[in-house]
Structure 1
Amino acid sequence: MSTTETPAAEEPRSARRWLREHSELGVCLLLAVLGALVIADAATISTDFTQRGPIGPKTVPYLVGGLLLVVAALLARDVLRGGRGESESGEDVDLSAPSDWRTVLLLSAAFLANAALIGIIGFPLSGMILFWGCAYALGSRNPVRDPLIAAALSLLTYVAFNHLLGVPLPGGPLMGVL
């Protein structure tokens, strides 16, 4: 009796192998979805105001969305023709090391805390939590220096955007002070 596999058993294995060999198509799909979302969102932009020139508020989003779709198509064509991305070749990168999920989760928590708190406590304080949380996640453990640098970065960013660039950021309890 022969121990050869049936064609039905080979089919899922070859499909998995093909997907593994063309995994870059996932990036193409992500770029295409992002481009479609940008174009769909640009279509909802209201033009109920006086336009001051030939370029309206929809032009740049349409351009960015269209370019994302073009890049997705060109990358997909390259992958399907056998093109592959280069492997990481940095000297300080150990490709056999597992992912550091603790750092990823701590960084995600810092970003989510900033997003959740910015409207409540304002940018200067939520930005300080963000900068301090990122420094902690990336390995800095100085209990005096880290919060001071985080506070300085957050306040400088707030002042630069709010007062110098004219981009209003929520000030929170510090609104009257700065």
Structure 2
Amino acid sequence: MASETSKSIYDFTVKDIKGNDVNLSQYHGKVLLIVNVASECGLTQTNYKELSALYEKYKSQDFEILAFPCNQFGSQEPGTNEEIEQTVCTRFKAEFPVFDKCTVVSISAVEVNGKNAAPIYQFLKNQKGGIFGDGIKWNFTKFLVNKEGKVVDRFAPTTSPLKIEKDLLKLLQSS
């Protein structure tokens, strides 16, 4: 679906790590943290640990983390979906949804920048540009989405997921 005509995150359908279609409208009414992840990045250990802690603490309060594996930065997510799932679930004990690295037959992995950027990332960047423009600079850029599917904030890869907690709480407590 074209990001130009999309009004919320719920207008998108993506593939999960097993290749099944997931209409993001199933997350309507939940606060989302959307993150481009990588298994072999210097930021991986801390981000996955803190993302898992946030998820465990708030998953029962209408909060979801949506992780999108991306190999666009330094080839730091080189594995197959099966290898990524094994790493995320076993090594990092993540329980939040992880999506498909491959989104389109002609694209070898989810791209967040450039002409082959996944539509969901075109939408996210259009909603909340970064300090130095819309481009995503590295793995673990985080987008906070409210219960209506609108992007309300964007956080740099180096921002600790735990530093986002106060913003997350405000959204969870809103009606």
Report the TM-score when normalising by structure 2: 0.22
Name the structure where helix makes up a greater proportion of residues.
1
Higher relative contact order structure (alpha carbons within 8 Å, sequence separation ≥ 6): 2
More strand by share: 2
